[in-house]
A and B are shown apart, each in its own frame.
Chain A
Amino acid sequence: MSDAPILKLVDLEVVLARTQILENVNLTVNAELVWLTGRNGAGKSTLMRALAGLLPFKGDVEIVGFSPRSIVARSNFAFVPDEPALYEDLTLLEHCRFQALAYRQPQAEARMLEFLEQFNLEGRLGEFPSSHSRGMRQKLSLSLCLGLELPLLVLDEPFNGLDAPAQALLSSALRDRVKAGHAVVVSAHQGDLAKTMLEGNVKSRVLLIENANLKDTSLEVGVRVETQNLKELNA
């Protein structure tokens, strides 16, 4: 891999239906956890979709030095949208095999199955996700993402719909990814979870989207989350 940062946004601007959603967003992310927060409708999901190459934007977005729409970039990040995007015609087990093959990571399947087991879905591997609850679908979506060994994970409100043990498991898995040198960008509203995760001795930052701009309320490596930041998280 080149020396390029894992994720780089330069003067990113997103306009949807003549409404300025984001402007002049600049961000460089390396091996760290970026916690994206902001009020409902602030533009968190829009930012994530833009950096995943799923929305039109102005400015530059680079993932390991490549455009997010390129095959190289897509082979280096996984995106979990707020509403799980799954192949409704495949069972859970088939999802794991297909995802592992699509990302050319045969060994990822075993890890995905391990996550599914930890999420208590091992008995449902032969079922279609369309018959499952929102939380179960979210668990599948997360297992497919966490099983892959990729430099960048982008997760839009991944804690929604998860039960408490699953939230703890996800927090721990994301911290482990950062410790392994990967970048994780997460959007969420759960301030208590943020506190738990950001206190876990991993390099992390809290970024706030407000009035279409990104504000770095930075917290460096291992520094305790300040009360002010948590207030913003919970706002």
Chain B
Amino acid sequence: MTAPGLLMVAAVAVLYSTGFYLLLQRSLMRVVFGIVILGHAANLSLMLTDRAITLPPLLTGKEGAISDPLPQAMALTAIVITFGVTTFLLALAYRVWLGDANDEVPADLEDRRIGRLSEPEDQS
């Protein structure tokens, strides 16, 4: 039974916490930053599932135990996807900024409207 080093676990905890915190902000740019950091956190989590971190998963080098290539492949995919998502969010943020002159997540008006429906009911 092997577990990842506690240092890296702590790093994952910090990355997730900061990512979540930024995600909970109203500023769209900070939300984008939060997504980027969460992407790092997820990649690091993937890496930590490897039991024994040793040589790179290349068969050309010296013989010996190699790292688990599957989490790496998944993380590689995730990195590129995160890049795509980040650029999309940036475009979205830019769009909101153009329309609103405001770099903030707007409140969902439809939700507000539904919420307001119930108010007369309560008063009567």
Say whether A and B bind each other. no
Give residues in A with beta carbon < 8 Å to B.
Answer: none
Give residues in B with beta carbon < 8 Å to A.
Answer: none
